[in-house]
Amino acid sequence: MSQDRNIKAGELDLRQEASLTSGSDSWHLQGVPEQGYEGYMITDGPYGLRKATGSDVYGSVPATCFPPTAGLASSWNPDLTYRVGQAMGEECIQEEVAVILGPGINIKRSPLGGRNFEYYSEDPVLAGHQAAGLVEGVQSKGVGTSLKHFAANNQETDRLRVSSDVDQRTLREIYLPAFEYVVKHAKPWTIMCAYNKLNGVYGSENRWLLTDVLRGEWGYEGLVMSDWGAVHDRAAALRAGLNLEMPPSDSDQEVVQAVQAGNLDKDQLDRMAQGVLDLIAKARPAMSQKGYRYDVGAHNQVARQAAQESIVMLKNEDGVLPLSAGEKIALIGEFARTPRYQGGGSSHITPTKVTTALDSFKETGMDVDFAPGFTLDDAPQDAALTDQALKAAAGADKVVLFLGLPEDAESEGFDRTSMDLPAKQLDLLKAVGQANDQVIVVLSNGSVVSVTDWIPQAKAVLESWLLGQAGGQAVVDILTGQANPSGRLPETIPEHLEDNPTITSFPGEEGHSRYGEGVYVGYRYYDTFKRRVAFPFGFGLSYSTFEISDVRLEKTGPNAVQVSMTVANTSRVDGAQTVQVYVAPCASKVGRPSHELKAFAKVFLKAGQSREVRMDLDQRDFAYWSTAMDGWHVEAGTYGIEVGTSSRDLVARLDVDLDGDGLFIRLNSDSTMEEWREDPIGGPIMKSHVEGGKVPMPNDPNTAKLFDSMPLVSVITISGGDGRRVVADMITDYQQALEQKGLIGASKGHE
Ligand code: BGC
């Protein structure tokens, strides 16, 4: 049968069409083989290929384990995520996988989120840009991605049923923009809906999300699939805009019956099934490259470079790092020998090889004495291990101590209950610090851990997250100065868990998780409310020193700005600085975070080199989501443009006056006294009615304040006047004034 013929779903019989909208097994599309549409494989994701060899999550063909997302996110480098994506795409071609299930881009709402290691950031701009690079990289090879989990999938507790209760503004400003950015800029072939409900409606049945917003507002043209087992009602899911149920639930007959009974529009079924056919047609060229082989060694190199860029140097007192060739090193901690390099659950892959820090140290030829220090289980500390570690520490110039979260401390499927490292590891740090004061801590953890209480005991700290299969080498590259640390924190490290804004509401109760902190997530909260943090969002040190100078703004439109600056490497070491641009809002009618990341650039500079960097901000970068207008709104006013190297290390702040978008909320009978008075058009009308004695205006300031917050009609009625008639007259005057100014039709929001 010809492979070139593009069939239309509507040409198939109802049963065939229904079956297309569900997989043929856990990892395959259904296809129409007799028409040249093969049921290709689709499988995890997200930081390497997990092509299952059986039903066990942990059995899969070897694939390169790139740094899990928590690590990769810290690279602040979409060009790097692109290269990782390309390599993943090539592995998919070899293994005949048409779609890799990732990346996951949900916001890290709480440090306790069980899948934080699979997600990028507490900030949607960083998450969106990093993920877009990865999606473009994979898809440049003719293989699809699946952006997941759409949407508001920010916890594991009760994950299959919980309702994420999020107000519209918070959704639009925090939880949807990363998806929106990737959809618009990278066009992922597929999107995976979330297990959870959003405001009471399952992700798989949420028509507002899957059709109105995703396809209607954002123009998405790809396929939406379910998370595994997320469909509860086939017809409802298809009606909502879900093309594909995974894995199949043997319920095609339900779909057929729904069409026959008029509960599912045939055109809608055609559209949903067509999405599956289109996906197969898109993947066909790559899937036809039989016998393709990727370069295993080259991909390991990509993993190594990605891991280097994922490491964040948090502290380096007295230049204790990098290590020098002649120094005697005590290498302590089981993680140096048994690295924790990936997370648990559906993302777990079988690496092509794993390099440990211990092996990599040995390869450097340095004088290294290893002691495991502790076991990775929760057995009490073994005194013999402590003694051995202390002996090694005492005899060394410097100690490199690997600490971290053991495998069973975090995984898909459950949230953490604490941010702390295991107590026995911290006890060991204390003891080692007494034996040798040159302690360098290397952390291995998927989700953020507390550092406040123990960091004074360390001279240097590398946050190395989970680094994938080449992580051991990458850590040694950084420790020895073969590579220069360039990672930046994609999330704030709070001083204490209790400082986090979700502390009162995460992970919710009785089936609901109420996002009560609203838009104040991560640094948006800590910075606005001036909370102390251990390390701010965007922070990271380097062996180089940099200077940012000559920051300038140029207005490129009524609500658009270009920011430019010179970034210089003022040291003798090649390195990279990550310049971050934050926007501080103008005086606003609504509460807004004190500033928000809107653009960033990782600038690689040779020793002594400098470069001019430009970043553009457009109207959306200044907007907030107005619930009253049901849309984005830019107020006129003076905005601050901040340039810095973290959310707290700002090197310049310049102001810019923006015209605003001209949108306003039309006054009506429910508008308050204050709203009428402050409105540029309504104000004079109100004034003339006050002067004419039709609208009361108390002299007592407290009563005036009380009146201010009341709807005008109520004030007049309570004062004994004919509120309705007076307000109707005022509205007539208001309409005429709007017409005279040519403003009719320009307004948004309620009448
Ligand atoms: C996870 C998804 C994953 C799918 C297939 C689900 O449990 O939530 O992220 O892609 O399983 O393994």
User: Which CATH architecture fits 546-658?
Assistant: Sandwich (2.60)
241-245, 309-313, 673-677, range with the lowest pLDDT: 673-677
CB 303 within 8 A of CB 470: yes
**pLDDT band for position 573 (cuts 50, 70, 90):** very high
How many angstroms is it from 443 CA to the middle of ligand 1? 27
Dihedral, CA of residue 711, residue 717, residue 723 and residue 727, to nearest 10:
-20
**pLDDT tens, residue by residue, 695-743:** 998 889 998 889 999 999 999 999 888 888 999 999 999 999 999 988 8
Collect all residues with Cβ–Cβ distance below 8 Å to 248 and sequence separation of at least 6: 22, 23, 24, 25, 30
Q: What is the pTM of this model?
A: 0.96
Q: Is 458 exposed, middle or buried (0-12, 13-18, 19+ CB in 10 A)?
A: buried
Q: What residues contact 103, with CB distance under 8 A and at least 6 apart?
A: 45, 46, 47, 69, 120, 131, 134, 135, 145, 147, 148
Using alpha carbons only, give the angle 559, 560, 566 rounded to the nearest 5 degrees: 145
Ligand 1 pocket, residue 228 CB under 6 Å: yes
* CATH topology for the 9-287 domain: TIM Barrel (3.20.20)
| For ligand 1, atom 12: residue with the closest CA | 346
In 396-545, alpha helices (H): 423-435, 471-479, 523-528
Nearest to 393 by CA among 336, 435, 360: 435
Considering only CA atoms, which residue is closest to atom 7 of ligand 1?
228
Would you list the domain boundaries of the chain?
A: 9-287, 306-509, 546-658, 673-740
Whether residue 211 contacts residue 246, with contact meaning beta carbons closer than 8 Å, is answered with no
pLDDT tens digits along 509-555: 999 999 999 999 999 999 999 999 999 999 999 999 999 999 999 99
Q: Using the 8-state DSSP alphabet, how is residue 32 labeled?
A: B
CA 98 to chain centre: 24
Share of the chain above pLDDT 70, in %: 98
> CB of 689 closer than 6 A to ligand 1?
no
227 lines ligand 1 (CB under 6 A): yes
Identify whether the C-beta of residue 445 lies closer than 8 Å to the C-beta of residue 465: yes
Q: Is the CB of 50 under 6 A from ligand 1?
A: no
- Bridge-based pairing state of the strands 190-193 and 144-150: parallel
pLDDT at 4: 55
Most ligand 1 atoms within 8 A of CB, residue of 146, 162, 225, 228 to mutate: 228
**CATH topology (fold) of 306-509:** Rossmann fold (3.40.50)
Burial 111-129 (b: 16+ CB within 10 A, else e): bbbbbbbbbbbbbbbbbbb
Report the atom number in ligand 1 closest to the C-alpha of 50. Answer: 12
Q: From atom 8 of ligand 1, which residue's Cα is the shortest distance away?
A: 227
Pull the structure tokens for residue 751: 């009448």
Q: Is the CB of 141 under 6 A from ligand 1?
A: no
Provide the token pair at 688: 């003339």
Identical fold between 306-509 and 546-658? no
Asked whether the predicted pLDDT for residue 751 surpasses 70, the reply is no
As a whole number of angstroms, the distance between CA 266 and CA 258 comes to: 9
Distance CA 504, CA 514 (A): 10
Q: How far is CA 456 from CA 403, 479, 556, 617, in A?
A: 15, 19, 47, 40
Per DSSP (E only), the strands in 64-211 are 97-101, 144-150, 163-165, 190-193, 197-198, 201-202
b vs e for 207-227, b when ≥16 Cβ sit within 10 Å of the residue's Cβ?
A: eebbbebbbeebebebbbbbb
The whole-number pLDDT of residue 744 equals 67
